[in-house]
Each structure stands twice: as structure tokens, then as C-alpha cells.
Structure 1
């Protein structure tokens, strides 16, 4: 069996969707009996040894915690390390690749919105556009998490579709599960809700997540309710001034809670305890928050943009991304508890179709194609 070296040192350590992708993939490859070496930041080494007991885990040099140093090391130190580790193929899971490794290289391109929605990514768009162009041109195989992303790469970069492999993400059902009453109570306490029902959003606050329109749509949907729920905007990452402006626009009777970053143990209770999880994104490469919310038994409202219908299928409700459409769709869901129950049941069944074991098998096939 060929040995694959996964460059986990490149992945942001913010516990967001990208690192959950690498965690799920590495664990799935380990369960599949794959011959895997993982290079990572020193602070992450023990965690990867726990995730993948059979993998060869390599702690990278201290200097690669600095982004510029890591990018330079990727071109020089990573190829040397790969050869020393006896790798047959290198997998770069985060856009950029080593160009002179002499080994087949596979890259994961998570989405094409750097090109299709450039204004939604300021100020990082130019770097990622350049890295993606280079990776798509030089990698032996390109892995994408959805057919929509594959089609966009072919359209905007003229990528060779015969070199692009679709490998859907999975969901860890031990981490994301229908919560107990205690998990719901603890998450509500963390958010300062004191028993008030709520609509949840979870994710980074970058512009394409469309949180300002969610705030405006939510305020419109609940303004006539005698006992309106709160809107809880969970997650860390980028700061969006437009979100602040939207929150200032709403009436004082509309409660918007911003608890910031939520720990992994809070997520099942936060998502599964919500009346609705709203994720009205303008575009996603996959849409892991939608899948994770379904796995927690939450009724989900999202958009039909890019990959999101591939993930949600018929198990979620859909809206257009403008504030008026969000208000109408959210208002209908809040007024229909029976429909929310049906979405919970459909979402749980849908989530079970996406596994990291299946994703690992798709990755293994891509690695083998790269070698051949």
C-alpha cells in the first residue's frame, strides 16, 4: 500500500471546518488501514496520535507557526521530510502545494468563491486565488468536496475535469449528535439565554456567510410575535462591520446574542437545541455547518447556492439570500412546529449518509490515481 504524507501543518488551528475536515479524514484513513504519515504543528502532534494511532505523526519545526516561514518550509522542508518519511504521494489539504517535491502531489481545493465572490473575501482573496491557480495547474490530482466546486473550477480556471476528484466530507456522529437535555441547558447557559427559545447561526463572520441579511430577516420575521425567540450568532474568526451595523438597526425588543467562539462540547446542545439553524450563505465549497446541524437534529434553513443543495437535499428548508426572503422562510418555519419536526427527522437520516470512512475511501482512490 502506498504511503501518503498529509501536510496538516498548513491547516488553521481555529477548530473550524477546515481542521475538522483534516481530523475526520486522518481518522478515516487510519480506520481504513491506510499507510499515513501526518506532519503537523508541534502543539497538535499528540492529538493526531490519538486520532490515528497507526499513523506516523511528525511534528514540524517550531518556526512554521509563522505563516511566511511555513510557506517557505512548504517548498523546501516539506519535500525533504516527505522523502525521509518514505512517502509515495503528498496530500496538501489547504490550497497551496510544494512545487519541486519530485513526488505526486494531491491538493484539496475547498471552494471556488475566491474567484466567484472575490468581494466577499477581502483582504485574503489575492493570495488564495494565486495559490489555487498554481495548485490546480501543478497538482497531479485535485480533490474537491462537491460537484458544484468541481464545476466551478472547470468554469473559472479551465481545470481539467479528468484530474478533479469529488470526495464529500463526513460528519463525526460522536461529536455531532442529538443532544441531551443537559447539553441543551449548558449551551443555553453559555449563551445567556435563560430558557428563551432561539434561532442559531454558527460560523465565521466573513461576508459570504450573509449574517447581516440574516439579522435583518430575523428581525422582520419575529417583530409581530408576542414572545419572539432570540437570534444567537455563534462562532469566531473574522470580524464583519456590516454585522455590527445590522445589529444596531434592529429594534430593542429583538434580542441578538453574540457569544463568540463556542467550544466543541457546546455545539450539540447549541445546534440541536435551536428552533431553527439558519445558514443563509451566498456560496460554499461544501457546507459542513449544515451537515453538522442536521446530525444534531436541528431543522435547517439554508440557500440553494453552490454546493448546499448537495448537502441538504430534501432534508432542509431553502431561502434566497436577501433579507426579505429570509424573513418569509424563517417566519414560515417558526410558525410550523410539525414541519420543523419533519425536518429534524429527515436531517438526521440525511446526515448518516455522509461518513468520514466513505470520504477516506474516495481520497485513497485519488491518491492511487496520482501515483499511477
Structure 2
């Protein structure tokens, strides 16, 4: 049943217009330096900009309509939502000048021949950072659930370029559907392909999708895009609310209500930064420090902060004080259900399962210590990609030193469609992570009838309840004791049914309904 829209009409309509202006800038220095300049235009009177020139011969052309922020544009660039921008540089020893001409406009219907319905609420969702793990799952459900749930509202998604769901929401492979990579593909082609992959009806007319190439190029490129082109898109599309579900919001004021979701709680754990410095080097620690700064800034700038668990909310509020915040947990994907087929790569006989990309806070060292303390425990199959290579090398060395090579197996690439078979046939999922915002893999495991062994920390007790055996301390001895209980009772029908029942409390429909209510509440203020 659709969620009713709030009273009144939030959508603003912009009359078609065209703009012509000339900007002149002077940059000092052949390597790197600051650039200042002035631009005039019939539409804006006198406007000032300041930017950062990264190298000789390159100019600034990213956002603010003409040139502002910092970015790269050698000779030719695109100012999204404005038109085409030409930057013509001249190099004179240590002084560079240039002329930029911008022609274009902001239109209510930027795609010729395509009409967009009037809507009660227009929401821009910046999901361009969803490139791996739970963020991709969340994005799939945002796109497939929000538009049908509230057909009177309009949703605009920025997604990673090349975003292709690994499987449809029914668990069947999505095929080779791909998002076109060129800028000209933005709009109907991207909409059609993603709708097909997510089994969203093509007739669903209240959703629009923008592939973003900058999403996979690093934090700096993402920062530039979010503070230039993305805000231009928000203005061009006349949106009422900007939702950033990946910790970071624009530093520039978007001039519309702003909602952020903290999906990554690691920036608020100093121990994560210390471990990154130790295993991955100072550069990794500095990137984490930057992410911490940006996450704190997002919390302070946003009109509403969404958390995935009460535990995550507590971590942030202990640092930042009371926030205007809501807790909206993730849902359970219907593709995860008890399955009898044992994957060919799975160990024969009883086994524990660990499913997660391998980061420094996932507690793998605790699991290794637990196995070494109890030779009678069944082997462990680990599914996940090692994102922190230095940490992973240390884990491999520990495994070798403790002679556990035959009791721990690594499986990097397992399609989502095969995961239910792994979960359903494991004694239990072992989840020794000590830094989580939610706990998606425990929820997936329980939905497949697989109990959980976990540390009693963070949000895991909120998710798993009585469907888990808990280690009371983050030590090998404590985890070993919990795994021994699971080895004894993990295959009992009672415990496996209890896991399925617990997972039944979570649904994506309920999650998305709460999203809509949160958005409407912000706009109603």
C-alpha cells in the first residue's frame, strides 16, 4: 500500500531558461597554485569564484554553473546541468590565463520527448559510493522498493557507473545487463537496464537514475563530484530533499533539507585508525582520519541522521551529543532462505562459516586464536575479499604459525545466489567483528536457518537476539567457548527454526516505509 504524501506540494518547478556568460581567470605557478577570478553573466550579475589549479595547462570546470571548487578539465569539459564548457588555456612561463564560455540552461524536462510527472516530494539519493558489500544490497532495495511504495513521489538516484546488481531480488541471476558508461546514456537507458535487473516494472515512472563515473576513482574525486556536479543536478531537477546514505554530505550548502545515513561506523572507532596505521601504513590511517572528519561534518550539518542500530547511534551521540536522529535497520532479502544444496566448494562434513570482506576490525585474529585453542572444533570456511592486504598477510602468518592451514579455507568469489546453500549447511556463522553499524551477514545467515556465534558488542545483539551464542569478551578463549556450544547444538532443529523466526522480524518494505516517513517528517518542519 503506498505511503500517503505529506500535505502541500514540495516540488518546485523551474521555467526553461538559457544562460550565456564569460569567465576569466588567472592562475600563478606552473605546478600547483591558487587561482582567483571574476565572472559576469546576464543571469547572475557579478559572481566570484575561487578554485585550485592542480597543474599547468589544466583549468577549472566543475560545478557552480561555470567554474568553482576544484577539478580537472583540459581543453574541454562538461558542466552538468548547465551545458558544455570550453576552457582555452595559454601558457606564459609562470602565468596562465584562460577564457571559459558557458552556454546552456536549466530545464524542467531535460530529456526531449520524456515527461516527468508532477510529484508531492522529489528526493535526490546520492548512492554513488555503493560499490561493495552491504551498500550494494541496500542500493538494490532502495531502487526497487521506494518508487513503487510511494508512487506520488519522485526519486532520483546517483549510482556507481557500471552498477549491475549481482542478482535479482528473487535470487535468480540478473544476466549481463550493464549500465552504459557514457554521459549520453544518463536517463532512459540507465533507468531501463537497472529496472530490468531489479525486476522493477518499466512502467514505474517516478524514478530516474544517473550513473556516476567519479564514484570509483577515490575519495577526492567523489568529494569534488558531490560538491559540484551533484549539487547542480539537485538544482536542475528541482529536488526538495537530498539523502546521502554513505556517511558523507556536500561541504557546500545544498539549500534544501539534508538527510545522512551513517552506514559505516568505523570512522568513530579510533582503534580502527590505529590498526590501519600499523598494518596498512600512514596513508591508510590518514584516509580514515579524513573519513572521520567528513562523517563528523555530515552529522553536524544534516537536518536528520539515520542509524542502522541503537548501538551505532549511541557511539556517535556519546561523542557529538544528542542528535535529531532515527534508527532504521536494514531488511531481510527474500533470496535468503533455507536451502538444501551444498555448494561444491564447501567443506565435506560439519563446518563453521565466516562471511565478510576482510577489514582490520572483523576480528579474524580472534577466530584464529579460538581454533588453535580447540583442535576438536570443525573447520572454518571464510568467504570474503581481503580489502586490507597488510592485515590479511598478518592473519595468514598466524594461521601458518598455528598450523591451521587445513582447518581454515578461503573462498574469495561466491555469487549471492549460492550463499543460501553455504549458510544453510553450516553449523553456525562465526561473526567476531567488534566494529559494526548493523550486521547484515548475521541476518542473512539466520534467514537461512543458520545460527550465529558472535561477540556481545555493538548492534549484533539487536539483530540476533536469542538466535546466537555470544562470546562475552573479544578473546580467543571466550569465542572458543561460544563455538563449542554451537558445535554441540548448531544442527538442532529448534535452534535453526529460532534463527529463521528471528530474521522474520526484518523486512525491506518496513525499512523503506520508515525512510519515507523520515523524509516526510523533515520536509514537514
What TM-score comes out, normalization by structure 1 length?
Answer: 0.89
CA distance in 2, matches of 1:301, 1:64: 35
Q: Equivalent of 2:353, from 174, 192, 200?
A: 200
SS of 1:83's equivalent? helix
Q: Equivalent of 1:234, from 356, 360, 383?
A: 383
1:117-196 paired onto structure 2 within 5 Å: 117-118=271-272, 119-122=274-277, 123=284, 124-158=287-321, 160-161=322-323, 163-173=324-334, 175-181=335-341, 184=342, 187=343, 189-191=344-346, 193=347, 195-196=348-349
1:316-327 paired onto structure 2 within 5 Å: 316-319=468-471, 320-327=473-480
Q: Structure 1 residues 296 and 130, CA, compared in 2 at 3 Å: closer, same or farther?
A: same
User: 2:370: which partner in 1?
Assistant: 217
1:29 paired to 2:189 = no
Check conservation: 2:162, 2:211, Cα contact below 8 A: no
SS of 2:516's equivalent? helix
User: 2:453: which partner in 1?
Assistant: 301
Check conservation: 1:218, 1:330, Cα contact below 8 A: no
Q: Structure 1 residues 59 and 219, CA, compared in 2 at 3 Å: closer, same or farther?
A: same
CA distance in 2, matches of 1:335, 1:310: 24
Check conservation: 2:265, 2:435, Cα contact below 8 A: no
Check conservation: 1:299, 1:316, Cα contact below 8 A: yes
CA RMSD of the aligned region, Å? Answer: 2.0
Instruction: For CA contacts below 8 A with separation 6 or more, give which structure has more relative contact order.
Output: 1
User: 2:497: which partner in 1?
Assistant: 345
Runs of 4+ in 1 over 6 A off after TM superposition: none
Gaps of 5+ in 2: 1-119, 164-178, 180-189, 278-283
Give 1:66 shift. Answer: 1.7
Report which stretch shifted further, 143-152 or 329-338: 329-338
Report which stretch shifted further, 163-172 or 19-28: 19-28
Q: Structure 1 residues 249 and 332, CA, compared in 2 at 3 Å: closer, same or farther?
A: farther
User: 2:512: which partner in 1?
Assistant: 360
Query: Larger Cα Rg: Structure 1 or Structure 2?
Result: 2
User: 1:250: which partner in 2?
Assistant: 402
What TM-score comes out, normalization by structure 2 length?
Answer: 0.64
1:331 paired to 2:478 = no
CA distance in 2, matches of 1:61, 1:30: 20
Give 1:70 shift. Answer: 2.4
Q: Deviations over 1:166-198 (max 9, x none)?
A: 10110112x2111132xx2xx2x234x3x2321
Q: Deviations over 1:103-157 (max 9, x none)?
A: 1111111243322333345524212211111100111111110111111111012
Check conservation: 2:128, 2:212, Cα contact below 8 A: no
Check conservation: 2:159, 2:212, Cα contact below 8 A: no
CA distance in 2, matches of 1:219, 1:262: 26
Check conservation: 2:454, 2:479, Cα contact below 8 A: no
1:283 paired to 2:400 = no
Check conservation: 1:108, 1:144, Cα contact below 8 A: yes
More strand by share: 2
Give 1:83 shift. Answer: 2.3
Q: Deviations over 1:324-371 (max 9, x none)?
A: 111111112212356x43221111011111111111111112212222
